[in-house]
Each structure stands twice: as C-alpha cells, then as structure tokens.
A and B are shown apart, each in its own frame.
Chain A
Amino acid sequence: SAVISQKPSRDICQRGTSLTIQCQVDSQVTMMFWYRQQPGQSLTLIATANQGSEATYESGFVIDKFPISRPNLTFSTLTVSNMSPEDSSIYLCSVLQGTGELFFGEGSRLTVL
C-alpha cells in the first residue's frame, strides 16, 4: 500500500491569507486527488491532480481558489487562497493504486479565523 505524507497536519490561519498543503507519496502513482471534508460532513472531491498539466476540477471548485501543482508522479500541492472561515476543513490527499484501491494521507486540518 502507498504511504502518503501530508504537511502541515494542522494550521490556524487568518482570513484573507493563503496556505499551501504538500502531499508526498512513497511510490510513483498516476492518479492523485484532493478532497475536502467540512466539519461533520463526508468527503467532497476538489480535483484530480494531473502530472504535467492543469488539474481537473469538480463542479463548485475553481483554480483561482484552489490552485494545484503536480510536478512529478510522487508529489502534489494544494493551495487554499484568500481564505475565509468557510474554508475551515480537513483537506485530504489521496492516490489510486492499480488495484483500484484508494489510499489517503493523514489530512491537513485547517482552521480559518
């Protein structure tokens, strides 16, 4: 199974600032995703991080608010821009292995004041 490291694990940020979350995988993976989990809710897919090209965003999420980079097959970043309290969530990086099994990082818990 893939081992996924996310940084930071948690952060408290001020309104209007931006935060970049890093995701490092211990092996090369083709499919990498970013999810958001708002308090008390299930997971919502933000985007698929594509290596060497622009991410594919789900309905309701835009590149200006959640820019994503994927420079290689083991690393990705998600930036939450111009944050508001409504962005307070757990942000999760995940990878899909060839077996069809999805693995997640430990999550980054973001609180916006």
Chain B
Amino acid sequence: KQEVTQIPAALSVPEGENLVLNCSFTDSAIYNLQWFRQDPGKGLTSLLLIQSSQREQTSGRLNASLDKSSGRSTLYIAASQPGDSATYLCAVRRVSNYQLIWGAGTKLIIKP
C-alpha cells in the first residue's frame, strides 16, 4: 500500500530564506510525482511534475527532486517571498492502478 507523508506539517520562515519541503512515499513503483500549491479556500495550482525516469525539475525559484530508491522528493524554494505562503501538496501516481495518492500538505508561512 502506498503512503505519502509530508514533513513538516507547518513551517514559518522569514522572507528571503531558502527552504526545503519534504515528501516521502513507501512504494517506489511510481509513475510520476507532482507538487501543488493551494491558497486558502482555493483550488490547486500545479507547480512541478517529475516523471519516474527524471531526477529533478525546475521552474523559476522552485526545484523539485526525486529519489525513487529512497522514496523521497524535495521541493526547494529559493529566496522565499510572502507570496509563497500557501499549503504545498505532493501527490504520487502509482504504476499498478494509476491511482493518485496525496500527502497531507505542508502549510508554509513566509514572514515579511
């Protein structure tokens, strides 16, 4: 059974800091892994998609890595800004049945 865990559940850092959000999964047989952000009461915005054959993806100040063997992905945010405050979710798509398994999210607060 695939389980996805995100640590920490919440994080508060001063503006300008670089930070890392973690996502771990128990079954390495994944099709892909996707990172999202969600603002309060809103829908989800796709940030980065990493295919199982890839090691990392970058978009602007964001970099996501994937290590299937250890069951981990990290989302690196450089030079954080107050606008980065949101809940960040990772989701893993299983190979076996194409099911998407969600982490509980990390609530990020960037203090001005």
Contact = CB atoms under 8 A, between A and B. Distances in A.
Interface of A: 1, 4, 6, 10, 42-43, 45, 90, 92, 94, 99-107, 109
Interface residues of B, number: 20
Contacts, number: 44
Determine chain B's interface SS by DSSP, over half rule. strand
B45 interface: yes
B49 A92 contact: no
Contacts of B103: 42
Given A42-B105, A100-B31, A107 B49 contact: no
Nearest to B93: A100
Interface of B: 31-32, 34, 36, 41-46, 49, 51, 89, 91, 93, 100, 102-105
Contacts of A100: 31-32, 49, 51, 93
